[in-house]
């Protein structure tokens, strides 16, 4: 097993996050990283004496006007953890919990939180040993950060919550004991520091981004296969056509599709068929295919750009300080503000889910082209390779794809502008960033289901036309991989397990 060594001057990259989440590499902290954390803690320990500092010797939120006596300062920190562990709904899947722990750790490693090094070392142990706090999905309004969800994380760190450990849900104390780890004990302000920040929405957002980027790759691959099946003219992917539209994403999509279609004998050259004298009034082959085939660079280009923008924002957020107040040992001051506000993540999650929904709509329209014999003119209805009327091919699978796409469209309404004041109006404008991230997560999961049905239809269409040997080398390889677990079918069989199997293939076999 490899390792990712965190260096403060470099921070985390998306590649680091992918390695930690999907390659199960261990996280190791450099001595410099721990030194920065300790420097902030040591400064705060001395500085906090005889001063009023929010969340150290005051109440929280609208109760900040109440001074807390010295004898109760540690109890204050435990109280915020226990009182805010009020989440509801389904537990956040462990992949997203792990990403959230990494994001929380990243804030502490900036050295502006005033937390003890014991805390960061325990979070690293949780990440490396597969101890995942039970965190309900619902509870955050995304300003003052993810207070409720992060309180559940903190509850596990102090040994009082629940965790998913070795495939089961158990008490955190039990998992800590088995791993010979001690629960974290409060020093100064760790209760507030763990609970106060954007780390859950950022963690969910990072997983969303990784999955969405992979969906975009599969959408481009599917679109290449679509044009091979339709025997399209290939000039809509040309350098010359796409270069005169000055959008980076469009040009990148076209370039990617050109690489994937290279060597294909299934597509046509316009100059060979049409740029010569014609003797017939009616052309047998479409001069231009439908938009869902011809306009893919223009449709997926904005998706490419949106994901690039989301990556920049999420990596910036990941490597930022998102709690309050900020403990700055360099200037020897403590600054109060609102770095816990999740608007950056909320806005990007709304944009990301809109982009993925449009990608899903493209897949649904391409699927409809394959299944609609009067539109494609070359395939039987529903790519039915059996007896028409007796067998049904993918007719019913289209119902699933259509209804799931419709749900994505409804979920694409933005959360970013749905602020509701709460907390005695202390939190009078909030981001709803975690809700936005969770809705984007659902849209992405839906999109994988639609894309799975789409690829089932694609390989059936290739077999129906017997063109597998005319495909490009790259698309032929995908065809072979899919047919290895999803054989050509003629007779009607239940398809729900095949859809799940295809979804797992698309998620676990990145191609670009």
Which residues are known catalytic residues? 54
- Which one, of 137, 47, 10, 64, lies nearest residue 330 by Cα? 47
494 to each of 354, 456, 499, 506, how far by Cα in Å? 32, 13, 10, 20
Report d(CA 450, CA 360) in Å as an integer: 7
Do residues 290 and 369 touch, judged by C-beta distance below 8 A?
yes
Look up residue 330 and give its DSSP letter: T
Report d(CA 270, CA 89) in Å as an integer: 56
3-state secondary structure of 328: strand
Tally Cβ neighbours within 10 Å of residue 179. 13
Going by their DSSP bridges, the two strands 136-138 and 26-29 should be labelled as unpaired
Q: What is the 3-state secondary structure (H, E, C) of 346-408?
A: HHHHHHHHHHHHHHHHHHHHHHHHHHCHHHHCCCCHHHCCCCECCECCCHHHHHHHHHHHHHH
What residues are paired with 131 via a beta bridge?
Answer: 165
Report d(CA 124, CA 292) in Å as an integer: 46
Tally Cβ neighbours within 10 Å of residue 84. 22
Do residues 408 and 388 touch, judged by C-beta distance below 8 A?
no
Tokens of 146: 């993810």
């Amino acid at each position: 097993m490899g390792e990712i060594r965190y260096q403060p001057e470099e921070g985390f990259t998306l590649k680091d996050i992918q390695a930690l989440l999907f390659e199960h590499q261990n996280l190791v902290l450099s001595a410099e990283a721990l030194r920065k954390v300790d420097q902030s803690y040591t400064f705060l320990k001395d500085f906090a004496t005889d001063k009023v500092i929010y969340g150290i010797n005051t109440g929280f939120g609208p109760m900040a006007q109440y001074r807390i006596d010295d004898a109760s300062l540690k109890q204050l920190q435990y109280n915020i953890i226990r009182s805010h562990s009020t989440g509801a709904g389904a537990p956040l899947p462990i992949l997203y919990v792990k990403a959230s722990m990494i994001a929380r750790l990243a804030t502490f490693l900036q050295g502006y939180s005033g937390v003890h090094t014991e805390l960061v070392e325990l979070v690293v142990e949780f990440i490396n040993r597969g101890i995942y706090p039970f965190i309900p999905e619902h509870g955050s309004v995304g300003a003052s950060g993810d207070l409720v969800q992060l309180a559940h994380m903190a509850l596990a760190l102090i040994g009082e919550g629940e965790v998913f450990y070795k495939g089961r849900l158990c008490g955190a104390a039990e998992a800590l004991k088995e791993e010979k780890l001690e629960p974290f004990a409060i020093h100064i302000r760790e209760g507030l520091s763990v609970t106060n920040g954007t780390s859950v929405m950022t963690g969910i957002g990072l997983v969303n981004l990784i999955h969405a980027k992979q969906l975009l790759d599969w959408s481009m691959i599917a679109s290449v296969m679509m044009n091979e099946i339709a025997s399209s003219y290939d000039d809509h992917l040309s350098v010359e056509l796409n270069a005169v539209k000055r959008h980076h994403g469009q040009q990148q999509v076209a370039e990617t599709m050109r690489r994937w279609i290279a060597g294909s004998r299934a597509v046509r050259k316009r100059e060979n068929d049409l740029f010569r004298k014609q003797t017939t009034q009616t052309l047998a082959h479409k001069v231009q295919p439908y938009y869902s085939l011809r306009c893919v660079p223009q449709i997926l280009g904005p998706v490419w750009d949106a994901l690039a923008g989301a990556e920049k924002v999420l990596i910036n957020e990941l490597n930022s300080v998102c709690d309050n107040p900020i403990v700055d040992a360099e200037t020897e001051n403590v600054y109060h503000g609102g770095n816990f506000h999740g608007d950056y993540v909320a806005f990007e999650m709304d944009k990301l889910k809109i982009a993925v929904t449009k990608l899903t709509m493209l897949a649904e329209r391409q699927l409809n082209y394959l299944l609609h014999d009067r539109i494609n003119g070359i395939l039987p209805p529903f790519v039915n390779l059996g007896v028409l009327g007796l067998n049904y091919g993918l007719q019913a699978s289209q119902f699933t794809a259509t209804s799931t796409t419709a749900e994505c469209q409804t979920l694409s309404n933005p959360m970013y502008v749905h602020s509701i004041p709460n907390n005695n109006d202390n939190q009078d404008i909030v981001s709803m960033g975690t809700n936005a991230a969770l809705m984007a997560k659902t849209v992405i999961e839906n999109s994988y289901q639609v894309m799975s049905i789409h690829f089932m239809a694609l390989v059936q269409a290739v077999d129906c036309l017997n063109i597998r040997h005319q495909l490009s080398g790259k698309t032929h390889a995908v065809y072979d991989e899919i047919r290895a677990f999803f054989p050509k079918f003629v007779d009607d069989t239940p398809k729900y397990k095949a859809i799940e199997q295809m979804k797992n293939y698309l998620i676990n076999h990145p191609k670009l």
